[in-house]
Structures are given as structure tokens and as C-alpha cells.
Chain A
């Protein structure tokens, strides 16, 4: 009897310790708050700006953009979603090769366009919860342009808070890339392996 009581007390103490530790540590899941979503976008924007202002060659900048994309965006989820129905039939190996090719392709495609941001800035205004994710609303001020709205969709379903979509004046990156990837796949008669090979050169 006394032993049992001691055990219970120990268990209780251990339980307290675990709870305290859990409270002190940010939990990977369920912990995403508007502030965290905001700060992810803040960091992304700061990194974009520092890449643009680094004065590096375009090739080096594109490499930096790819690292940035891999760090702040949920590349596997984006890649799979963009591939659409074909992702279902793909083998594991194909899907991972495709995801890798996609990461380079998308970084080059948007990286080339980030030059338009030179001398501009993005102001993060607001973050709010929508359904299962957070939407961060920002305004882009580019040189000689009327300010326009950029929305970032941020989720922590991957286990980390990462963005999975960008919406510029209503134009949805995921939707646009889905259309593009579908057309690229059609052009190759639905041959995913050819698409993977070609993405590296696009």
C-alpha cells in the first residue's frame, strides 16, 4: 500500500513536470497563432528583400530564392496540389523526384520576377484565422505602381508553420500553377517522368 502511494505521487510529480515543460515549449501542432503566421510572412518578406538587395548575380539570387522557398513554404504540399489528379497515380519515387524538380522550377520562375520588387516593400497588415489556416494580408508597394494586395495562406499541418499559397489581387498561385502543370503534363501525353525531366530545364 505505501509503495503504491509513493508511486502515484511520483507519477503525479512527473506528470506535473511534463505539463510544465509542454507549456513552456511551443507545440508543433495546434500552436499556430495569428502572430506566428504574421511573423512567418514578416521573415519571408525580410529575406526576399535581403536577397534582392544583396547585389549578387541573378544565378546566385535564384539559388537563394530556392532555399528561401524550401524554408518558408510547404513545398511537398504545394507540389502535390499543383500536380492534381496525376499525383494519385504517381509512385513514391516519382512524387519525390517531381517535388524536387518542382521546387527548382517554381523558384526560378518566381525568382526571375522578384526583380520587379527592387526598391519596393511589402507591409504586413493583418492576420486572421480562416477555416483551418491563417490568412496574412499584406500590401505591396512597388516603384511606380499603385499599391496592391498580397495574401499569404499559412498552415502548420506539415508540423511547422509554412505558407502554402499566395494570392495577388485575387490571382491564386496554386490555381495558376495547377493550370500550367496540367497543360505541361498534357503536352507530354501525361508522361510524368518526362515532365520531371523537363521541369529541370524550364
Chain B
């Protein structure tokens, strides 16, 4: 969660990454999930990346987030988070449109307009205050809507748990982010830095949860993988699932367990 999106690198490196993940994605689309719903043929490599990510979190991201949380006053943290969210909105709207989710696109557009005008350029989240929450999305979801399967599970360096499809989506979101494309280089960099601070804020805010997964569980790799996949599938299936049988996928019947007796 807190490890997501640590792309500080320049556009060229991000572009390279995009190509690499696309290739990994295409190569990784083979294979079906096991009975546990997990498709992780590259587990050995993923575990190495996970160990690396854990090291990065322990040595850098975790302490930096703690420092950020204790030094920067909460209202300022909130403003940073709000601006970062506002900067995400154009990308969200573009994805909403690509998904043909016109109502969501409308809601996010209204949100963007309101927060820019009444939230003073996105400093304040005016929209949520009046009951207009965001409909965050990404290109991974767009690919899902277009019928692309999630592919293999991957843990990305710095970015953390993902799937072949979501990794490709993330690369596209970074490269084709309308805000980055519209802003001059300097401002685009400033926006990226701001997003990084917002991520540090998230890492700090959810530190109990993140620490319990990364440092207190017996197998932090398997826990992070399960959590990501379950939560991601929930996010993506939300609209369809609300109608019928939403709980079925995750349903385990302990009374008719193959393990019991």
C-alpha cells in the first residue's frame, strides 16, 4: 500500500519500465490460478523482490513516513493528500471514459471542478465534505473492463504487490497521465514529488496495518499477496457484485470443509 508508486525516475526510465512490464504482462498472461485463486508461477523471484521491498521499507520508506508524520502538521498532510488526489482526477476521468462509465466520469469531473473552485485549487476536499466522494480508478481497471484477465501475480520493486495486468496499467497511467503531459517539466516533477509525500502520509496513516503485514505476520509475502488480490478483485467486481452473489467468491464454508473430520 505504502510502497505503491515510487516512480521518481524520469520519463525515459518510466517508458522503459512500461515496455518491460508490458512484455512481462504478455509473457505472464498464460497459466490459470490454482484452487486458492492465486496464479504465482514466479513466486521465487517475487519473494526476492518482496525481501528487497521490505528492506527498502524498513530502512527508508517506513522511517521517512514516520518522520513526515511527526514533523508535518496534520492539516498540512491533509492538504498534500488533497492536492495529490486532485492531480489524479484527470487521469481517473480519462479512465472512466475509456471504461464507458459515464456517470463516474461525470462525478469525477464535477469533483474536479468543485475542488478547484471551492477547494481553492484542490487544497481542500470540498466535494467529499458535501457527499461527493471520488471514484478513483486506473488503467488496470480499464484493461479489466476491456476483458483483460489479471494474469500472473507480480511483486514490483518499490511499487509492491500487483498483477501482470495491473502492472501494465500502472505503467500506462504513469506515462499517459494527462497532468504530466499538460504540465511543463518542472511542474510535472513538483507534482510527482507531491504525490510521493502524499504516499508517505498514507504509509504513516496506515502504519499499524502495513507493519502488521510486513513485520508481524509469519509469511509477509503470502499475506501481502492474498490481501492485494482479494482487495483488488473486490474493487474491480464491486459494481457487478453489488447486485448478486458478491460474497460468493470469497466464501469459505467451514462447516463443509474438506479439512473437517
Residues of A within 8 A of B (CB): 74, 77-78, 80-81, 83-85, 87-88, 113, 116, 130-133, 135, 144, 146, 151, 153, 155, 157, 164-165, 167, 169-172, 174-176, 179-180, 182-184, 186-187
Map CB proximity to A onto B176-208 as digits: 1 under 8 Å, 0 otherwise: 000000000000000000000000000001001
Residues in A neighbouring B261, C-beta threshold 8 A: 88
Shortest Cβ gap from A166 to chain B (Å): 11
Are A74 and B247 closer than 8 Å at their CB atoms?
no
Cβ–Cβ < 8 Å partners of B256 in chain A: 132
**CB-nearest residue of chain B relative to A81?**
B254
When the two chains form their complex, are residues B251 and A81 in contact, meaning their CB atoms are under 8 A apart?
A: no
On whether the beta carbons of B133 and A167 are closer than 8 Å, the reply is no
- Do residues B218 and A184 form an inter-chain contact, with CB atoms below 8 A? yes
Within 8 A of A (CB), among B215-261: 217-219, 222-223, 226-227, 230-235, 245, 247-248, 250-257, 259-261
Closest to B136 in A: A146
A170 CA / B235 CA spacing, docked (Å): 8
The residues of A that contact B252 with a CB separation of less than 8 Å are 81, 165, 172, 174-175
Q: Quick one: given A175-B226, A183-B218, A184-B218, are A131 and B260 in contact (CB under 8 Å)?
A: no
Q: Is the CB of B255 within 8 A of A77?
A: yes
23 A-B residue pairings within 8 Å (CB atoms):
A78-B254, A80-B254, A80-B257, A83-B259, A84-B259, A113-B208, A131-B251, A131-B253, A146-B133, A164-B254, A164-B255, A169-B231, A170-B233, A170-B235, A170-B250, A172-B230, A174-B252, A175-B252, A176-B227, A179-B226, A180-B217, A183-B218, A186-B218
Which of B205, B245, B259 is in CB contact (< 8 Å) with A130? B245
Separation of A96 and B235 alpha carbons in the complex (Å)? 38
Question: Are the C-beta atoms of B259 and A175 separated by less than 8 Å?
Answer: no
Q: Which of A135, A171, A180, A184 contacts B247 (CB 8 A)?
A: A135
Within the complex, the shortest CB–CB distance from B217 to chain A, in Å, comes to 6
Given contacts A78-B254, A81-B252, list 17 more A-B pairs with CB under 8 A: A81-B254, A130-B251, A165-B254, A167-B250, A171-B227, A175-B226, A175-B252, A176-B223, A176-B226, A176-B227, A179-B219, A179-B226, A180-B218, A180-B223, A182-B219, A183-B217, A183-B219
**What distance in Å separates the Cβ of B205 from its nearest Cβ neighbour in chain A?**
8
Query: Which of A85, A153, A171, A183 lies in contact with B259, CB distance below 8 A?
Result: A85
Residues of B within 8 A of A84 (CB): 259
| Residues in B whose Cβ lies below 8 Å from that of A153 | 247, 251
Alpha-carbon distance A164/B251, docked complex (angstroms): 11
Q: Which residues of B contact A176 (CB under 8 A)?
A: 223, 226-227
Q: What's the Cα separation between A84 and B36 when bound, in Å? A: 13
Separation in Å of the B31 CB from the closest CB of chain A? 20
Which residues of B does A touch, CB under 8 Å? 128, 133, 205, 208, 212, 217-219, 222-223, 226-227, 230-235, 245, 247-248, 250-257, 259-261
Q: How far is the CA of A130 from the CA of B231 in the complex (A)?
A: 21
Known: A81-B254, A155-B255, A169-B234. A187 touches B218 (CB 8 A): yes
Q: Specify the chain B residue showing the minimal Cβ separation from A130.
A: B247
Determine the chain B residues whose CB is within 8 A of the CB of A132 once the complex forms. 253, 255-256
Q: In the complex, which residue of chain A has the Cβ closest to the Cβ of B256?
A: A132
What 7 pairs between A and B have smallest CB-CB spacing? A170-B234, A81-B254, A183-B219, A183-B218, A77-B254, A172-B250, A157-B255
Q: In whole Å, how far is A171's beta carbon from the nearest beta carbon of chain B?
A: 5
Chain B residues with CB below 8 A from A85, complex form: 259
Assembly CA distance A115 to B74 (angstroms) = 20
Contact residues in B for A135 (Cβ distance below 8 Å): 247
Known: A179-B226, A180-B217, A180-B219. A81 touches B247 (CB 8 A): no
Given A80-B260, A146-B133, A167-B247, A174–B254 Cβ distance below 8 Å? yes
The reply to whether A87 and B218 contact each other, CB–CB distance below 8 Å, is no
Report the minimum CB–CB distance from A106 to chain B (whole Å).
13
B254 contacts across to A, CB distance below 8 A:
74, 77-78, 80-81, 164-165, 174
